[in-house]
Structure 1
Amino acid sequence: MDKVVATAAEAVADIPDGASLAVGGFGLSGVPNELIKAVYARGVRDLAVVSNNCGALDSGLAVLLAAGRIARVTGSYIGANQEFARQYLAGEIEVEMIPQGTLAERLRAGGCGIPAFYTPAGVGTQVAEGGLPWRYDGRGGVALASPAKEVRDFDGTEYVLERGIRTDFALVRAAKGDRHGNLVFGKSSRNFNPLAAMAGRVTVAEVEELVEPGGIPPDEVHLPGIFVRRVVALTPEQAADKGIEKRTVRGR
């Protein structure tokens, strides 16, 4: 039951080229930076990443992206990541853009063993009708577009069929974890981290604070250890290293 491994490098040592990864975090919040650095150090390539966004401010998944290690991104936000936008428009990377709530539910569904579900989000748009550019040809044209999805009427309202997401591995960050893999997420880092963890067949968690079994009251567990295969304890310095995406100040 002790799922703790000594280093991040050991925790990701079996991730191969071409693997699919569900990665937690949103912007700079709750990003498993140490695990991502370990994946980068392994040199694996052609990764298919499922994450809300693909890194920011040269951190998180932006490290793998800039190195050309990512072949496909399933997400909902490009934002201010100029390298992500450049690779997408140049046809260097395949991108499946999904409404943010739909992405969250697809991850959750995959983790719960639900193969597909119906949602009204995207009905009447290219999300349902197809034609969203998945890959550009580098000359302004579309080399690969999204296919049309099944749309069905329920009680007079149309819904589009979306498939659950399962990935080979998942990388997440938690505020606290025990040796059995039970996790607690801090504030906004609870957005995509539990869902990504559920979707991975092998889930690896880096934790800011490692406690012994019983150190987390059952009612405070955000994600039960059944979903987690490996736990890596961060050093105090690593746990405290949290970037600020946009610093603002208020006038006196």
Structure 2
Amino acid sequence: MIDKLLPSAADALADIPDGATVAVGGFGGAGMPEDLIEALIAQGARELTLVSNNAGQGDTGLAALLKAGRVRRILCSYPRMTGSHVFEELYRAGRIELEIIPQGNLAERLRAAGCGIGAFFTPTAYGTPLAEGKETRVIDGRGYVLEYPIHVDYALINAEAGDRWGNLIYRKTARNFSPVMAMAARHTIASVGRVCELGELDPEQVVTPGIFVKRIVRRTPVGSATADQQQVG
């Protein structure tokens, strides 16, 4: 019997090793898997490469992961946002590496990894510092940059609901990068607000099929003292 439901985020993230590449879903605060990030901090993995849309805000979520000194390198589109003081301090001190990736390229590089695409040409960033050191080509009179897939060891994503096979649906903007991150990852861990019975989800509404999901956990409040002790029936 296939059952990908685990009792806690701590159990789901227990095997993430030092040096892993971890993609974290979220568009600003929308769809950010706060409970999984908190569990990753508690788990203790270090020297991580982080793939995300931004570098965190304030002192919670991704910012807390960075502040804990767990991230060696980050690939993102918006490292500097309102309240991104943790990242700025680390970057200015030379304690974190940064690769800026235009948002569309970030999504497409993740999708390419999931689809088995070796590389692709895009006009985005052609003629800018972001294209320095990369192969370029002029096609039909337009300049293009060669970009490679972003392969991910673990993807931590947030979904509205899922079943024990790992089929997922999302809520509006909370969907963001999660589907392509799940495709790009060797291990996808999804935090879901609701666990459904098999057959309850309309197949036409499933965005991420269970084949892309390794583990799911029922979402628990961030900071809950019993988050890692709650059992899921």
TM-score, L = length of structure 1 = 0.84
Question: What is the match of residue 110 of structure 2?
Answer: 107
Q: CA deviation at 1:37?
A: 0.9
CA distance in 1, matches of 2:215, 2:31: 17
Question: What is the match of residue 91 of structure 2?
Answer: 88
CA distance in 1, matches of 2:187, 2:194: 21
Give the % identical residues: 53
Q: CA deviation at 1:57?
A: 2.6
Question: What is the match of residue 163 of structure 1?
Answer: 148
Q: CA deviation at 1:90?
A: 1.6
Question: What is the match of residue 225 of structure 2?
Answer: none
Match of 2:127 among 101, 124, 129: 124
Q: CA deviation at 1:54?
A: 2.0
Deviations 1:97-156, CA, capped at 9 Å, x for gaps: 01111111111111111121110000010111x2xxxxxxxxxxxxxxxxx111112211
TM-score, L = length of structure 2 = 0.91
Q: CA deviation at 1:71?
A: 0.4
CA distance in 1, matches of 2:27, 2:61: 10
- Runs of 5+ consecutive residues of structure 2 not aligned to the other structure: 223-233
Q: Which letter does structure 2 place at the counterpart of 1:90?
A: A
RMSD over aligned Cα, in angstroms? 1.1
Question: What is the match of residue 190 of structure 1?
Answer: 175
- Any conservation in 2 of the 1:28–1:55 contact (CA below 8 Å)? no
| Aligned partner of residue 5 in structure 2, secondary structure | coil
- Runs of 5+ consecutive residues of structure 1 not aligned to the other structure: 131-147, 239-252
- Any conservation in 1 of the 2:57–2:85 contact (CA below 8 Å)? no
Question: What is the match of residue 52 of structure 1?
Answer: 53
Q: CA deviation at 1:198?
A: 1.3
Question: What is the match of residue 42 of structure 1?
Answer: 43
- Any conservation in 1 of the 2:24–2:33 contact (CA below 8 Å)? yes
Deviations 1:53-73, CA, capped at 9 Å, x for gaps: 122232221111011111000
Question: What is the match of residue 29 of structure 2?
Answer: 28
CA distance in 2, matches of 1:113, 1:165: 11
| Aligned partner of residue 125 in structure 2, secondary structure | coil
Deviates more, 1:9-18 or 1:77-86: 77-86
CA distance in 2, matches of 1:57, 1:206: 22
- Match status 1:221 vs 2:222: no
Deviations 1:137-176, CA, capped at 9 Å, x for gaps: xxxxxxxxxxx11111221111100001111111000011
Question: What is the match of residue 163 of structure 2?
Answer: 178
CA distance in 2, matches of 1:58, 1:45: 18
Match of 1:231 among 207, 212, 216: 216
| Aligned partner of residue 48 in structure 1, secondary structure | strand
CA distance in 1, matches of 2:190, 2:55: 18
